[in-house]
Amino acid sequence: MELDVVVTHGAGLDVHKKVIVATVLTPAVHETRSFGTLTPDLLALADWLQACGVTHVAMEATGVYWKPVVNLLEAYPFEAVMVVNPQDIKGMPGRKTDVQDAQWIASLLRIGALKASYIPPRPQRELRELVRYRTSLQQAPGDGSQPDPEGVGRRQRQAELRD
């Protein structure tokens, strides 16, 4: 039994700290390539996806490694760029390598079997980053050193002032 193809021009990305493995599945292209994670590498990835005629991109990433990839791909005319929770697809059998992961993601995208994680709109993401940065500055000891997320430095100064 063959499943219906929902996305004819898709790509699956397995995103890591230092490497992105990308698989393109279109009627004309079935190819997997690896890219670095620096800006020139991300631009090369986006250009390659666009040259292959990709319309939909799905990626699996843990932590924050997906952020620069999504930020850059949003500037390209892809119909959809989605991040998929690794736990939603890890239960699938037979995947042992990053290449197999990227191919599996592309295959699941092709049949419409992926659920996109919520990614706030870019202005909201930028505002969140600013608020987090502001909060880290407010919690900093004030001596130019690193932010103090626990507020220990501030409490120590308050205790010294009381003594």
Domain of residue 148: give its range: 122-162
> Does residue 115 lie within any of the structural domains?
no
> Does residue 117 lie within any of the structural domains?
no
Distance CA 146, CA 143 (A): 9
pTM for the complete prediction?
A: 0.78
Residues 52 and 132 both lie in one domain: no
Distance CA 88, CA 53 (A): 27
Sign of the C-alpha dihedral computed for residues 38, 40, 43 and 49 taken in this order: negative
Residues 42 and 75 both lie in one domain: yes
Question: What single string gives the DSSP state of each residue in 94-154?
Answer: T--SHHHHHHHHHHHHHTT---BPP---HHHHHHHHHHHHHHHHHTS-SSSS---TT-HHH
Cα 45 to its chain centre, rounded Å, is 14
Residues 56 and 104 both lie in one domain: yes
Residues 96 and 131 both lie in one domain: no
pLDDT 10s digit of each residue in the chain, 163 long?
A: 678 889 999 999 999 999 999 999 999 999 999 999 999 999 999 999 999 999 999 999 788 999 999 999 999 999 999 999 888 887 566 667 899 999 999 999 999 999 999 999 999 999 999 999 999 999 877 655 555 555 556 666 566 666 5
Residues 56 and 27 both lie in one domain: yes
For residue 40, the domain's CATH number is 3.30.420.60
Please name the residues in contact with 36: beta carbons below 8 A apart, sequence gap of 6 or more.
Answer: 18, 19, 20
Domain boundary among 110, 136, 153: 110
